[in-house]
Structure 1
Amino acid sequence: MKIYDITLPIHPKMLHWGRKPEVEVVESLANGDASNVTRWRLGAHTGTHVDAPAHFVDGATPIDQVSLYSMIGPAIVADCTGVEGEVLPEHLEAAGVAGHRRVLLKTTNSAGPLKEPERAQTWVGVGPAASQWLVDHGVELIGTDYMTLEHHTRTDTWDSHHVLLNAGVLILENADLDEVPPGEYELVCLPAKLVDADGAFTRAVLITRD
C-alpha cells in the first residue's frame, strides 16, 4: 500500500485566503506547566478543505451532515496540467473523468501557485460549463489544487460554486497533487465535524494498493 498525503500543512505563514492562522501557547512544559497546549484560530476553509452546499446555499447541507460515501472511495486524479485558464468540458472528457464519482484535477497549480505563500494573480480554475458537465455526469466530489476551484476571473460571481453546490456536489480545495501521478486511487477525505458549518479543513489522502 502507498499513501499520498495531499493535505497542505497548516501554519501561520501558509498560503491562505484572507486572515492567516494564529497560534497561542496556552500551557508549556518550559513554563512549568504539566503539558504543552496550544490554541489555534483558523477558518473553516483553511488549507485543504471541503466546501459543503451550505457554503453558498442557505438551508443546504452543512459539513457535518454531508455523506462520507462521497468522500471515501475510488477516485481519479485527472491530468489537466496542459490546461491554461479555465477547465472546460472537453478537458474533462480528454482526461477520462466520465464514469467517476470522485474526481481530483491535477493542474499546473500544484507545482506553481499552490507552493507560493501569497495568493497568485492567476491560476487554473474550473469553468461553469465544466461544472455543469460534472453535475450531469454524476460526480459527487470534485477536487482542485488551489485555494478555490473558481478561475481567478470569477471570484466576484463564483459561478462554478453556484452550479456545483446547488446540485449537492462537494468541493475539495487546496489538494496538493504535485507528487501524485495521474491515475486511479482510493480517496479518504475526512473534514472536521463542525456542526452546521459551511465547510471544514480536512486531512485527505490517496491510496494505491498492490
Structure 2
Amino acid sequence: MTMLTSDVAYPTVPDDCLLSGEGVPVSVQREVYHNGRIFDISHKYVPDMPSFGVKDGLGEFLWLGLNMKNGSLVNVCMMKFNVHSGMHVDAPGHVFDHFYDAEFDVDTLDLEVLNGPTVVVDVPRDKNITVEVMKALNIPRGVRCVLFRTSNTDRNEAYVEEGI
C-alpha cells in the first residue's frame, strides 16, 4: 500500500496568489480556450436581480443550510432560484418541445459553440432588439457569437414577442 503525503484536494496556496486585506487567498481565474482568452461576463446574483416570470426578482436565494457556528461539522450553502435569471444559456428544450421531451438540457450543449470570435452589441436603454436591428448589425465574417448588452434592470419593461 502506498501513502501519499500531499493531498491534491487541499493544495498549497501558490506564490502568485492574491491575498485580501485580511490575508485570505483570493482566487484568480486563468482560463484559456485554444489560443484565446475566456471572459467571464456573468453578473453577480443579488436578491433584486431580474428573473423571468418573477415580479420582484430572485428574492433571498442563498442561505447557509448548515453552519459550523451552530455546531455543524461543515458549512453548507443552499440556493434556490429560477434558472432563467441573470446571465444564462437556454437549453434547446427551452423553446423546442421535442428537444425537451428528448432531455436536451444545457449539459448537452457543445461548449465549442459558445466560444470564439464575438461581437458585443451595446443596446441603448430606450431601445428594443428588433428584427430591423438584427438585420442592420452587419456582423463580420468569422464571428460566431453575438452578445447583447442590455440594461435589464427595469422591472416593468414590456416583453415584446416580435421576431421570436
TM bracket, shorter-chain basis = 0.5 to 0.7
- Aligned pairs for 1:56-67 (under 5 A) are 56-60=95-99, 61-67=104-110
Identity %: 25
- Does structure 1 conserve the Cα–Cα contact (< 8 Å) formed by 2:49 and 2:85? no
Greater RCO structure (CA 8 Å; 6+ sep): 1
CA–CA separation in structure 1 for the residues paired with 2:46 and 2:91: 23
Instruction: Please state if 1:75 is matched with 2:126.
Output: no
Deviation at 1:29, TM superposition (A): 2.5
Deviation at 1:71, TM superposition (A): 0.7
Deviation at 1:55, TM superposition (A): 0.5
Which residue does 1:25 correspond to in 2?
A: 64
Which residue does 1:182 correspond to in 2?
A: none
Q: Secondary structure at the match of 2:160?
A: helix
Which residue does 1:96 correspond to in 2?
A: 138
Alignment-mate amino acid for residue 90 of structure 2: D
Decide whether aligned partners of structure 1 residues 62 and 75 sit closer, same or farther in structure 2, where only a CA change above 3 A counts. Answer: same
Decide whether aligned partners of structure 1 residues 31 and 2 sit closer, same or farther in structure 2, where only a CA change above 3 A counts. Answer: same
Residue by residue over 1:3-25, the C-alpha shift from the partner in whole angstroms, topping out at 9 and shown as x without a partner, is 75421212333222217253342
Deviation at 1:58, TM superposition (A): 1.7
- Aligned pairs for 1:126-205 (under 5 A) are 152-154=159-161, 160=164
Residue by residue over 1:79-133, the C-alpha shift from the partner in whole angstroms, topping out at 9 and shown as x without a partner, is 44397334234x3454332432211123xx33xxx245xx2324xxxxxxxxxxx
Q: Superposition RMSD on alpha carbons, in Å? A: 3.0
Q: Secondary structure at the match of 2:107?
A: helix
- Does structure 2 conserve the Cα–Cα contact (< 8 Å) formed by 1:92 and 1:98? no
Deviation at 1:67, TM superposition (A): 1.4
When you count strand as a share of all residues, which structure comes out higher? 1
Which residue does 2:84 correspond to in 1?
A: 45
For structure 2, list consecutive stretches of 5 or more residues without a partner in the other structure.
1-35
CA–CA separation in structure 2 for the residues paired with 1:41 and 1:15: 14
Q: Secondary structure at the match of 1:39?
A: strand
Which residue does 1:9 correspond to in 2?
A: 44
Q: Number of aligned pairs?
A: 120
CA–CA separation in structure 1 for the residues paired with 2:140 and 2:134: 8
- Does structure 2 conserve the Cα–Cα contact (< 8 Å) formed by 1:24 and 1:39? yes
Decide whether aligned partners of structure 1 residues 81 and 12 sit closer, same or farther in structure 2, where only a CA change above 3 A counts. Answer: closer
When you count helix as a share of all residues, which structure comes out higher? 1
- Does structure 1 conserve the Cα–Cα contact (< 8 Å) formed by 2:49 and 2:153? no
Q: TM-score scaled by structure 1? A: 0.47
